[in-house]
Chains A and B, each alone.
Chain A
Amino acid sequence: MTPGPATATPVNPAPVLELADVSISYSGIVPAVVGVDLMVMPGEIVGIIGESGSGKSTLAHSVLGLLPDSAQISGKTLSLNGIDMLGASEQAMRQLRGPAAAMIFQNPMTTFSPMHKLGRQLMDLLWRERGLSNKEKRQKILKALQDVGLPDPAARLEAYPFQLSGGMLQRVAIAAALLMRPSLLVADEPTTALDVTMEAQILHLMHEIRRNAGVSILMISHHLGVIAEICDRVAVMYAGRIVEEGPVDVIFADPRHPYTKALFACEPALIETGATRLPVIGGEVPRPVRIGCGFAGRCPQVLECCCNATPPWVAVGAGNVSHFSRCHRSAP
């Protein structure tokens, strides 16, 4: 479990996921994501951290084309495995879901249909594999369930979702996502609904599947501990924009954006015992703004230009570390 992709990556590999200047708005008027650039390389675990309302879930859902009809995506590039998805038809999206990208949701209890046995639901996921007999499909599913450490997989195939605990169901959900051998796994708060002891086990499992299946992971979380535990790179989202991005150890050791700093200051696990009062960020998360900095209203170091000019995306890393921050204060 060392930071950085486990396997040596070839020179200049093509990104699994590439977003350039992607904006998403609901009903054409409510912006949720504004001008996001993001890349996920093969075998990499990229984390997106943000509070509720920051647009991180909208971004995750857009990768698989799971947004409601009222959402409008615009931008330069949104491509999975080099295939452009911005103009893709629903038909084409269906071909991509599964082999190109799969998703794990926050609540494992609502991931599955409550009406059908798990075995049947997993079997349905293999509809594309027309060459396989049912028996072969069953073998494949059992193997996948074993790989995620589910005890007694054969019996679980006959179980309904309510008969399994949250942790076990999340394991099944991960197995289901990996059945189609996707190149990208999008995990939207996969451990939020679980107990800490189970969370540690699921995070460990995600590390293992990256190592064994070579899958890239886009991890969405609001929990700094979870991000620190498994990610190689982190993007911090606030009010629809990525405000800071860089390698996980650099961001945690030396956050540059005022929001990232404030967020880290609030994390109870980082505060020394004996503090009489806990720090907070005053005010509420604002709606995403198209012009200016979204954090201006709560920022302790706000400048005059923060409200009327969008801050530039500035490299702040020492040497050739790819560490970027979107702040007027970082601008040269």
Chain B
Amino acid sequence: MMRETALIEANNLSVAVPRSSRWFPSRKPDLDILVDVSVAVKPGEIVCMVGESGSGKTTFGRALLGLVRPSAGQIVFDGTPLPDFSPPSFKRIRREASLLFQDPVTSFDPRQRIASILAEPRRIARSGSVARSEIEELARKAGLVSPLLSKFPHALSGGQARRAAVARALSVVPRLIVADEPTAGLDVSVQGGVLNLFLDIREEFRTSFLIITHNLSIARHVSDRIVILYLGRVLESGPAREIFRAPRHPYTRALLDSEPIPNPAKRREAPPVIGEVPGLAARPSGCEFHTRCAFAQDRCRHERPLQTAISAEHEVACHYPLTPRLTVVGPPPQRLPKTANR
């Protein structure tokens, strides 16, 4: 992947949690949450990481900023690799990156007023002014009116709280914003405002974004590149336009087809995928998606497919990638019997 200009790059990043502890020893091997995930975000680029719950997308965002300790791999920030994964090494990234948490209200101190919450990163970083007028200017940038600055977090509506979180993220002018489900819990009439704000910020500061979401229609509108995660592995990654027009991995296509279409004339006959994500503790053999894949062959059950480049920036991990033409054909020809994975 384009090493030359990436702002932040994860190379074969893995996260594993031990299942054995001092008080509860166990012979079980470590549980792999993320396996060999490689993602690069260029300056001013918006990358969307998409996956179902349990795919490890939130963990990836946190691992990138050192909130979860990676177990293997490498993180390169601004061209220089981190020497190790100790907390001091991550300081360099955290100074220039912000994380938008999934639930903004619980990410605020309930006993601080919004103005103080917005000023806190500047106080910690000892950079930027914490004068009231400057904080008001910051809030205005995120679309918050100044009377809200003297309120406590619980008094804000969902959309306002999200804007306050964005304002806090902007307070030290980050070069990277990791946004975990930035539109979860927002009404459609408001979520566009938050995404437009991201686009404005990118235009003004050339900030890079890693947006973690399960909402594909959002990803379609804002992202430059898409990364599809399944059970902690990247199944497909590439330019957003290409992936939405012609997904090559059967899982990507199933995800796209699962999104209900707001058109009563286009109802589906049957659900595009059956079953659910197998647990991380019971990873299927071979290609991990084979238990739900409509096109699985014998080879898929035994041999894990490797990431293969399809075009310059488009990679897919599948033995039998879909041909672009196939995406317009109706329901898949044969379906595997329903399998219980637990």
Contacts and interface: CB of A to CB of B under 8 A. Distances in A.
Interface of A: 1, 3, 51-52, 151-152, 165-168, 195-201, 203-204, 222-229, 231, 248-249, 252, 262-264, 266-271, 273, 275-281, 284-285
B51 to A, nearest CB: 9
| Most B-side CB within 10 Å, residue of A165, A198, A269 | A269
Contacts of A224: 188, 262
Interface string B238-260: 00010010000000001100111
A163 B188 CA distance: 33
B153 interface: no
| Most A-side CB within 10 Å, residue of B191, B196, B218, B262 | B262
B274 interface: yes
Contacts of B22: none
Given A195-B214, A268-B218, 5 more contacts: A196-B255, A225-B260, A225-B262, A229-B261, A266-B192
Interface of B: 52-53, 157-159, 187-193, 195-196, 199, 214-218, 220-221, 241, 244, 254-255, 258-265, 267-274, 276-277, 338, 340
Given A225-B260, A249-B264, A252-B262, A195 B52 contact: yes
A248 B264 CA distance: 7
Contacts of A227: 262
B138 to A, nearest CB: 21
Contacts of A226: 260
Contact of A197 (B189, B262, B271): B271
A26 to B, nearest CB: 18
B276 A165 contact: yes
Contacts of A281: 189-190
Contact of A225 (B254, B259, B271): B259
B324 to A, nearest CB: 16
A197 B276 contact: yes
Nearest to A285: B187
Given A195-B214, A228-B261, A201 B193 contact: no
B289 to A, nearest CB: 11
Given A225-B259, A284-B159, A273 B220 contact: yes
A276 B260 contact: no
Contact of B260 (A195, A203, A277): A203
Contacts of A231: 264
A1 B218 CA distance: 27
